[in-house]
Amino acid sequence: MLEVTKLRCEYLTNPLGLGEPHPRFSWVLQADSSNVMQKSYRVQVGANRGFVPLLWDTEAISSSSSIQVEYAGPALCSCSRYFWRVKIADTAGQESPWSDPSWFETAILDRSLWKARFISSDDDAGSSRGMRFRGEASVDGEIAWARLYATALGIYEISLNGANLGDAVLMPGWTAYEKRLLYQTFDVTELLRPGANVIGATVAPGWYKGDLAGWLGARNLYGTSTALFAQLIVRLKNGGELVVSTDAGWKVSEGPVLMAELYHGESYDARLEEPGWDAPGFDDSPWRRVAVLDRGWDTLAAQDGPPVRRQETLSVKTLTTTPKGERVLDFGQNLAGWVRFTVRGNAGDRVVLRHAEILDAEGNFYTANLRGAKARIEYTLRGGAEEVFEPHFTSMGFRYVCIDEYPGTPRPENFSAVVVSSDMGSTGSFECSHPLLNALHRNIDWSLKGNFIDVPTDCPQRDERLGWTGDAQVFVRTASFHRDIASFMTKWLRDLAADQRPDGGVPFVIPDVLSKVPNNDPHTAQSHSSSGWGDAAVICPWTLYEVYGDRRILERQYESMKGWVEYVRGRAQDGLLWNTGYHFGDWVALDAKEGSYFGATPNDLIATAFYAYSSELLARTAAALSRATDADKYRRLHEEIVRAFRAEFFTLTGRLASRTQTAHILALSFGLVPPEHRGRCVETLVELLKENGGHLTTGFIGTPYFCRALSDNGRLDEAYTLLLKEDYPSWLYQITRGATTIWEHWDGIKPDGSLWSVNMNSFNHYAYGSVGDWLYRVVGGLDAEEPGYKKIRFEPRPGGGLTWARVKYTTPYGPASLEWRLEGGDLRIEALVPHNTTARLILPHDGSVVALGSGFHTFRHPYAKG
């Protein structure tokens, strides 16, 4: 039986409010036989489930493509639902039936359809209150279809007739607001009714006007007033249409949200609630008229990334009293989100909670590393019946919660932690015979969840939480093994291109807020274009192409990628050696001077190495896009940079000028070592490891490539030894100290229990979790050999005393997996290859290759260590 399943449009199942005028379709083949390859496909698109009349019919297309098949029919209409289906034939002559229909619905593609205005309370720049908006909509007739399109300057929640719309939180997310403001689409057909209706919304400061880059004292970076924007479109069964929009007739009022800030938490007074305020029949005469802002529609864009949602809830592990007498909840996991609680008491009683990642060496509640972030919830009871509360316009990074105030005796069952993250499906799993490696994998995943909250932030707890480009680029491939990051990263890269400087320079953080702040901080006074950070403009799109086979991401980011490389070329000596500008270097490396954040590897070596790497990826991108002239141009540029690097940093006898681990790692990883001296470079790297007791001294730049630099150069044993170290400094040391996420510093908690500087000591910081890439591709042995995993490479590489490992990964074509076990003198292998793909299995030691078609395969292979 041959079937077409798992239909997706732009990486989504049945997307509502799609802003893409040429959406792409993907599907997965299912069959009860093996070696199934698609020979042809046929896609149909219609305006109804019956596909009569047809809007688009490809007829039979001879192609094995089953991902990102682009719609090429007549222009799509705004606010319209379309149905699509697929049938395929395989190379064995089987033909599938039509798939079950799937659908997508367009958003407002034609800007002339917008009628709404941005409405504001006209509140002052210093206010952190949540403002409530209310508008009425009268419907005369039976309703056939109704959609509400909404966004805000700030963070908003919206309701219709008292019912909250959707399950997303922290809407509309964070983008380069001056250039891109995302709106959300809500199907309100079942909630709207003939007669009187009310749209209600609460808007809080959020990223738009709240505190950002808090250590710089910055706020109001995009504007001084929060605002709501909403447009209701109703189609009646009699053929009529009604449009209700935010305008000067709406009302606004302060509500129970007294303060809401991303860094500081939320203050809520339940005594100020007005039941029914967002439903018909409420007396809003005390409310005031809104102010209409002079802002157009040119920046509006449909939601193009996964919404942030509540992912799960965690129960309290323990409720204890610290040596200082603090009542502290321990949820057993460092996470991002907030606390939901139940409470009963008198009107005016309060619940006050503070959040922290760790307890100090004495077991007391520790918040110094939050710097200026208050991370505090204050709730004032209305009194009477049991009350349930959770904040809505903030998030915090925490494991521990200190109960400063609570009426009565708090019990563990009164509290739960709500985990919040961008809603990306899980893609991979990793397990092996080493429990601490399994814990490391879990910690990487939790750090991803805690920091992928609409943008890839550095940390979720202190007064920072910015989209640092360097952190994102070192982690992007690891992230792809854990979660389906395609639309998440695509959305962020659009903002990178939007905020990129006219000269091609790339801001340190995306969205770019640092350039908006007068700044004397020596690390961010220049707000753009550090090597390894700006290279995210090239590395991230190329990685998405490798993982998802997505040519469109390369097409749309190409000018941004090219702009970055040209920016560097314009500042490099003779266009080849980049030895100017500000660089973070090998950030927080252990070989830094005492008190410094900068590792010992010279900036010009790191900068030129990344310049070479980005120019190589740009040449490969141009070739993938059939831009032959550019491909040749940047290929030659890359070759010239490599020659210049070798002349500058290698002696004639092959000694690398900088004797640091990171210098040797980058030279090996980016193909910069003269071939005749590669052996010496590898030996020196191993020597540097031995000189440090087998430990790394690398920072954010060197660490991601360390194990790969060893294993790719005949030093698999050393790579395993490095990975499996449990003493300081190492990945597993953190776990022995109780870590449940990845730390910012190897010595966040030192062996003697003391802590690193309070200035920068996050305990949820995914950069060092980039080793997860090596877990999947080397320990597990699963990798893409062609973009999008059209061809898979299975190459298990046992070592480190591990007796088994298992990886599973959902490729764009379906699930793949590899499990290996050492049994006696044999290596037992089980491999799953998705239909419509092929694989190569490369066996260890002898390097023999087995070609695999789709299906499940088992092997036994003689295995002798060494």
Q: 3-state DSSP call for residue 553?
A: helix
Residue 125 has pLDDT above 80, yes or no: no
Examine residue 688 and state whether it is found in any structural domain, yes or no: no
Write down which residue in 378, 398, 422 finishes a domain: 422
Q: How confident is the model at residue 405 (pLDDT cuts 50, 70, 90)?
A: very high
Total number of domains in the chain: 4
429: in domain: no
Do 212 and 319 reside in the same domain of the chain? no
Q: What is the per-residue pLDDT for 524?
A: 76
Q: Please tell me whether residues 298 and 314 are part of one structural domain.
A: no
Is residue 861 very low, low, confident or very high in pLDDT (cuts 50, 70, 90)?
A: confident
Average pLDDT over residues 645-653: 97
Q: Distance between CA 478 and CA 448 in Å, rounded?
A: 9
Does 292 lie in the same domain as 158? yes
Amino acid (one-letter) located at 811: T
Q: Considering the domain boundaries, does residue 84 fall inside one?
A: yes
- How do residues 684-710 score in pLDDT, each as one tens digit? 999 999 999 999 999 999 999 999 999
Give yes or no for residue 866 having a pLDDT over 70: no
Confirm if 708 and 669 have CB atoms less than 8 A apart: yes
Question: What average pLDDT does the segment 805-814 reach?
Answer: 98
Q: Which residues pair with 139 in a beta bridge?
A: 195
Task: Indicate if the pLDDT at residue 324 is higher than 70.
Answer: yes
Does 418 map to a domain? yes
Which domain CATH number covers 34?
2.60.40.10
Nearest to 738 by CA among 320, 330, 373, 329: 330
Please tell me the predicted confidence (pLDDT) of residue 358: 98
Nearest residue to 845 via CA among 830, 825, 824 = 825
The residue among 603, 742, 601 whose CA lies nearest residue 685 is: 601
pLDDT at 123 over 80: no
CATH at residue 328: 2.60.120.260
Residue reference for tokens 């996964």: 306
Task: Please state, in angstroms and rounded to a whole number, the distance separating the CA atoms of residues 407 and 256.
Answer: 20
At residue 216, the pLDDT reads: 87
Residue 546, pLDDT score: 98
Cα distances (angstroms) measured from residue 350 to each of 329, 343, 406, 408, 775: 17, 9, 6, 11, 47
645: in domain: no
Q: What range defines the domain where residue 129 resides?
A: 114-257+274-302
Together in a domain, 125 and 51: no
Whole-number Å distance between alpha carbons of 863 and 777:
20
Secondary structure class of 285 (helix, strand, coil): coil
Q: Is the pLDDT of residue 662 over 60?
A: yes
**Same-domain pairing of 122 and 243:** yes
Partner residues linked to 234 by β-bridges: 146, 242
pLDDT digits (tens, 9 = 90+) for 386-400: 999 999 999 999 999
Instruction: Please check whether residues 349 and 418 belong to one and the same domain.
Output: yes
Residue 607: is its pLDDT beyond 80? yes
Asked if 45 and 73 count as a contact pair (C-beta separation under 8 A), the reply is yes
The residues carrying an active-site annotation are 464, 744
3-class DSSP assignment, residue 666? helix
Per cent of the chain over pLDDT 70 is 99
SS3 category, 42: strand
Cα distance between residue 222 and residue 298, in whole Å: 16
> How many other CB atoms sit within 10 Å of the CB of residue 7?
21
Gap between the Cα atoms of 10 and 344, Å rounded: 47
- Amino acid at residue number 202: T
Residue 122: the pLDDT is 74
Q: Residue 510 is which amino acid? A: I
What b/e sequence results for 657-692 when a residue is b if at least 16 CB atoms lie within 10 Å of its CB, and e otherwise? Answer: ebebbbbbbbbbbbebbbeebeebbbebbeebbeee
Same domain, yes or no: 84 and 127: no
Give the count of beta carbons closer than 10 Å to the beta carbon of residue 345.
Answer: 18
Q: Sign (positive/negative) of CA torsion 778, 781, 782, 786?
A: positive
How do residues 217-254 score in pLDDT, each as one tens digit?
889 999 999 999 999 999 999 999 999 999 999 999 99
Task: Please compute the mean of the pLDDT values over residues 104-123 and round it to a whole number.
Answer: 94
Structure tokens given for 779: 């320990």
Residues 249 and 119 in one domain: yes
Same domain, 53 and 128: no
Question: Following DSSP, what letter does each residue of 25-41 receive, concatenated?
Answer: EEEEEEESSSS--EEEE
CB 406 within 8 A of CB 343: yes
Q: What is the pLDDT of residue 820?
A: 98
* DSSP 8-state symbol, 77: P
Q: Phi and psi for 16 in degrees, rounded to 5?
A: -105, 125
Residues 322 and 392 grouped into a single domain: yes
Rounded to an integer, what distance in angstroms lies between the CA atom of residue 167 and that of residue 164?
8
Residue 836 reports pLDDT greater than 70: yes
Cα–Cα distance measured from residue 153 to residue 118, given in angstroms and rounded to the nearest whole number: 8
State how far the Cα of 181 lies from the Cα of 173, in Å rounded to an integer: 9
**Interatomic CA distance for residues 450 and 763, integer angstroms:** 11
What span, in angstroms and rounded, lies between the C-alpha atoms of 204 and 260? 6
pLDDT score recorded for residue 865: 63
Triad 286, 287, 292: Cα angle to 5°: 150
Question: Which among 404, 422, 440 is the end of a domain?
Answer: 422
Domain boundary among 401, 422, 443: 422
**Nearest 5°: phi and psi at 565?**
-65, -40
One domain, residues 101 and 187: no
Residues 297 and 325 in one domain: no
Specify whether the backbone of 847 is left (phi greater than 0), alpha (psi in -120 to 50) or beta: left
Predicted pLDDT at 526 = 86
